[in-house]
Amino acid sequence: MKAFVVEKYGTDTLRAADVPQPTVGANDVLVKVSAASINPLDKMVRNGEFKQLLKYKTPFVLGHDVAGVITQVGSAVRGFKVGDEIYSRPRDLHIGTFAEYIAINQDDVALKPAALSLHEAAAVPLVALAAQQVLVDRANIKPGQKVLIHAGAGGLGSTVIQFAKHLGAHVATTAHTRDVDRVRELGADVVIDYTKEDFSEVLSGYDFVLDSLGGKNLEKSLTILQPGGLAVGVAGPPDAGFAKQLGLPFFMGLPMNFLSRKVRGAAKKLGVTYSFFFMHASGAQLRDLAALYDAGVLRPVLDRTFPFDQTLEAMAFVEQGKANGKIVITMD
């Protein structure tokens, strides 16, 4: 089958290739891919940013989001059948959605939202799971709390804004001038045009910040939190909790704490907390999220689609920062 594989870690190492169709284990479903979407995580994995923790053996097929049709089920699979239309974010070390077929553990799969096409559904799994896991599981956001979501027009930000409003939060976001009206339509109560204003000089007393930019932006984000507030970073630096999430030995958390010592120290001085976030696969949560999409509470935000044979161009488009919303690769 045709696929796009990482030949070796690096910035220009994704290539089209012919690879064997995946074998189907007892707990797997084989999915004929209809569409996949691109996430910043694809670039990070390709570049080897997590190679000490997520030990992919090169060459491997890239891609973390998928929607498609089940063509085969393993002997232990229950609840799915051939012909089902599904969506999924396959678990780490078992990714590979930039391909004609992928075998996925049944626990990572859910029937796609009925209200969405397969192309729309492909844009959803990773960002929707991240929104639920960071806002509910990690931050426990309650109605009336004040949250700041950076880069609100992006694939992740646009979904987190919607989910935060669903939880009853007061939502602020940062966006470019051209995207101000768009993020307001998604539900943002306060929009900071970062080309004209510094959010850290305008906002204060927030309970939670989701930072997807890192560096100075993360450091400034700490200052707008009220005492006891939480800043969560998805661009790093990692902390010991990441090692624990991956099930690694205790000592593996020590170098991660070293990498995040500066931001954690700054947070401590301000009486707030910093935490690194890395989402995980969950078919059960995708089932719950499908109901929110079907009810119109959430909607996918797509920028554009690329045909499968232009996957490299689609990756380049995302890396150049041109996307407003998700970029979807289509097979049909």
Q: Residue-wise pLDDT tens for the chain (332 aa)? A: 999 999 999 998 999 999 999 999 999 999 999 999 999 999 999 999 888 888 899 999 999 999 999 999 999 999 999 999 999 999 999 999 999 999 999 999 999 999 999 999 999 999 999 999 999 999 999 999 999 999 999 999 999 999 999 999 999 999 999 999 999 999 999 999 999 999 999 999 999 999 999 999 999 999 999 999 999 999 878 888 887 777 777 777 787 788 889 999 999 999 999 999 999 999 999 999 999 999 999 999 999 999 999 999 999 999 987 788 899 999 97
Return the residue matching tokens 């049709």. Answer: 69
Tokens matching residue 83: 């012909």
Domain co-membership, 115 together with 135: no
Last-in-domain residue among 276, 291, 308: 276
DSSP three-state, residue 205 = coil
Domain co-membership, 153 together with 248: yes
Domain co-membership, 211 together with 255: yes
pLDDT (0 to 100) of residue 243: 76
Domain co-membership, 131 together with 271: yes
Q: Which of 57, 61, 75 is nearest to 17 (CA)?
A: 61
Q: How far apart are CA 172 and CA 161, in angstroms?
A: 8
Domain co-membership, 114 together with 69: yes
Q: How far apart are CA 162 and CA 182, in angstroms?
A: 12
Tell me if 295 is assigned to some domain. no
- Domain of residue 36, residue span: 2-124+300-330
Report the number of distinct structural domains present in the chain: 2
Domain co-membership, 49 together with 75: yes
Domain co-membership, 82 together with 177: no
Can you give the pTM of this predicted structure?
A: 0.95
Domain co-membership, 200 together with 258: yes
pLDDT (0 to 100) of residue 257: 81
pLDDT (0 to 100) of residue 77: 98
Q: Which of 159, 173, 149, 153 is nearest to 124 (CA)?
A: 159
